[in-house]
Amino acid sequence: MIHLLIAAAFTGPILKVRVDGEGYLRFIRDGRAVYAKEAALQISNGTLADSAGDPVLPSIEIGSNAADLAVDLEGNIYTTVQGKRNKSGQLVLALFPASEAFRTEDVVLVADDRPKLGNPGDDAFGVVRLIPGFDVATPKVTVTPIALKSQPASFVVPEPLANQFLTKGQAPKSKGATKVVNTGTGLQITVQEHSVVEGDHILLGQIAQIDGDANLVEKASTIDLGDTPSTGVRRVIDRSRVLGRLRMNGILPEQVNLSVPESAEVRRKGQMIPNTQFVVTAIQALIAKGGLSGTWESTDSFADLEVPSGKLDLKAEQMVGEDTGNASVVVAIYVGGARFNSRTVHLHLKDNVPPVQAGSAVKVILIAGHAQVEVSGIARSQGRMGQAIQVEVQIGNPPVRTFHTGVVSGPGAVEVRL
């Protein structure tokens, strides 16, 4: 196999980096992905590339006028242009099974299997560190054929990072609660199985009991494990993520006894809306708009809904079918005055209650506090179930006529609250 190394137009500063973990840097060469554990990153034709001119994958556009390059542990690339610091992109790492055998090609590695992709700091991918003294390959200025050996050397991925810290004779990862037992006496960290947090970031101290050296406990408690999930979504926290973030903050795995339940999860603090509350809001809106009188019931089987904390309001925004036996109402959810989401409630008219006609005899239920009295009356206006109408009532001997406003509560029945 012949690979042509094309002359690259390198400009500006150089970043000498390596992956501290199980991940590999990714580059694109001749339309295919290639990999490396360490590389000299520099600007080639306006994009970030390795010493052979292979652009990182996915591409990170830099431009040719960057004054410097910088990278953090999570692979974020920063540049300074005209005195202003900007984030240009983030490196994406590849993670291969331990059985993968690589083929060497110039300054990169070639693999046959498709890797798992992720960002530095996630799971077992590792972090990106700057290294001094890495030999930078000098870019060639002519087109030169480079022939690979007929029997390319194989490159075997080291054993998984977690197993490197198992004590002698200890079994690999087992089901249930996962524990890494080390000889260090720095920290004992026990992650809770279920955690609820506020804010936009998950801190280790919010989801775990941390004991040990006071300085290390304080440092570990503020370690950021990532973004808090959206309300109603649960985020799984595994051992490799915790170990990776500890390492990023200078706490080595051999300093920690770590226990993480296999089903450890985190969710954002919120509030629950019972589905019955959506149904009631929909029925009230339907009746207020003059929908058919009767008993409406929901044909849905929705679960209760979790939404962010804050002042809650439900408002009916759209309605169709109110004059038929089947209707739908869009109920919007407002939290703290801002529209958060909505739910469509489907309703069916179970018992049809005909409207009260003007001039018809009705049963008037007079309610005063906890007392109520039923008397006969005459409807002086027409109304459907739940609507307000005028009624005439004659009470006493001789009878005294009085007029009241009441609400149609059933077939031929009107409630009047005094």
- Does the pLDDT value for residue 184 go beyond 80? no
Give the domain CATH number at 385: 2.30.30.760
Please tell me which residue, 209 or 324, carries the higher pLDDT value. Answer: 209
φ/ψ bin of 119: left (φ > 0), alpha (ψ from -120 to 50), beta (otherwise): beta
Query: Over the stretch 159-168, which tens digit does the pLDDT of each residue have?
Result: 333 333 333 3
Given this model, what pLDDT does residue 136 score? 41
Given this model, what pLDDT does residue 118 score? 86
Query: Over the stretch 31-41, which tens digit does the pLDDT of each residue have?
Result: 889 999 999 99
Query: Over the stretch 226-269, which tens digit does the pLDDT of each residue have?
Result: 888 888 788 889 888 899 889 889 998 888 999 999 889 998 88
Using an 8 Å Cβ cutoff, are 217 and 93 in contact? no
Using an 8 Å Cβ cutoff, are 335 and 307 in contact? yes
- CA 202, 204, 206 angle in degrees (round to 5)? 70
Given this model, what pLDDT does residue 405 score? 94
What does the alpha-carbon distance between residue 333 and residue 231 come to, in Å, rounded to a whole number? 14
162 token code pair:
């977690």
pLDDT class of 123 with cuts at 50, 70, 90 = low
Q: Using the 3D structure, point to which of 213, 245, 268 is the last residue of a domain.
A: 268
- Does the pLDDT value for residue 148 go beyond 70? no
User: What is the mean predicted confidence (pLDDT) over 58-85?
Assistant: 84
Query: Over the stretch 262-303, which tens digit does the pLDDT of each residue have?
Result: 889 998 888 989 999 999 999 889 888 877 767 788 988 888
CA-to-CA separations, 144 to 2, 7, 49, 54, 70, in angstroms, rounded: 10, 9, 19, 16, 32
Given this model, what pLDDT does residue 314 score? 95
For the chain, the average pLDDT equals: 80
pLDDT class of 103 with cuts at 50, 70, 90 = confident
- Does the pLDDT value for residue 110 go beyond 50? yes
Residues 305 and 343 in one domain: yes
Given this model, what pLDDT does residue 287 score? 80
Residues 186 and 262 in one domain: yes
Residues 74 and 137 in one domain: yes
Query: Over the stretch 318-357, which tens digit does the pLDDT of each residue have?
Result: 999 887 888 999 999 999 999 988 999 999 888 777 778 8
Residues 118 and 26 in one domain: yes
Residues 54 and 143 in one domain: yes
Residues 38 and 20 in one domain: yes
Please tell me which residue, 354 or 72, carries the higher pLDDT value. Answer: 72
Q: Calculate Rg over the CA atoms of the chain.
A: 35
Using an 8 Å Cβ cutoff, are 305 and 331 in contact? no
Q: Using the 3D structure, point to which of 126, 156, 186 is the last residue of a domain.
A: 156
What does the alpha-carbon distance between residue 290 and residue 384 come to, in Å, rounded to a whole number? 7
Which domain does 408 fall in, by range? 361-417
| pTM greater than 0.85 | no
Residues 317 and 234 in one domain: no
Residues 204 and 301 in one domain: no
Given this model, what pLDDT does residue 10 score? 60
Please tell me which residue, 257 or 133, carries the higher pLDDT value. Answer: 257
Residues 133 and 33 in one domain: yes
What does the alpha-carbon distance between residue 401 and residue 378 come to, in Å, rounded to a whole number? 11
Which of 337, 177, 194, 148 is CA-nearest to residue 257? 177
What does the alpha-carbon distance between residue 197 and residue 195 come to, in Å, rounded to a whole number? 7
Using an 8 Å Cβ cutoff, are 273 and 232 in contact? no
Q: Using the 3D structure, point to which of 218, 240, 268 is the last residue of a domain.
A: 268
pLDDT class of 9 with cuts at 50, 70, 90 = low
User: What is the mean predicted confidence (pLDDT) over 374-390?
Assistant: 89
Residues 222 and 239 in one domain: yes
Given this model, what pLDDT does residue 351 score? 73
Per DSSP, helices labelled H in 211-297 are 214-221, 239-248, 275-288
Residues 195 and 277 in one domain: no
Which of 272, 269, 270 is CA-nearest to residue 302? 272
- Does the pLDDT value for residue 124 go beyond 60? yes
pLDDT class of 132 with cuts at 50, 70, 90 = low
What is the count of structural domains for the chain?
A: 4
Given this model, what pLDDT does residue 177 score? 39
Given this model, what pLDDT does residue 369 score? 87
- Does the pLDDT value for residue 205 go beyond 60? yes
Tally of CB atoms within 10 A around 409: 15
Q: How many CA atoms does the CB half-sphere of 14 hold within 13 Å?
A: 18
Residues 21 and 151 in one domain: yes
Using an 8 Å Cβ cutoff, are 181 and 174 in contact? no
Q: Is 302 exposed, middle or buried (0-12, 13-18, 19+ CB in 10 A)?
A: middle
Read off the DSSP letter of residue 356. B
- Please state which of the ranges 1-5, 127-131, 207-211, 386-390 shows the lowest mean pLDDT: 1-5
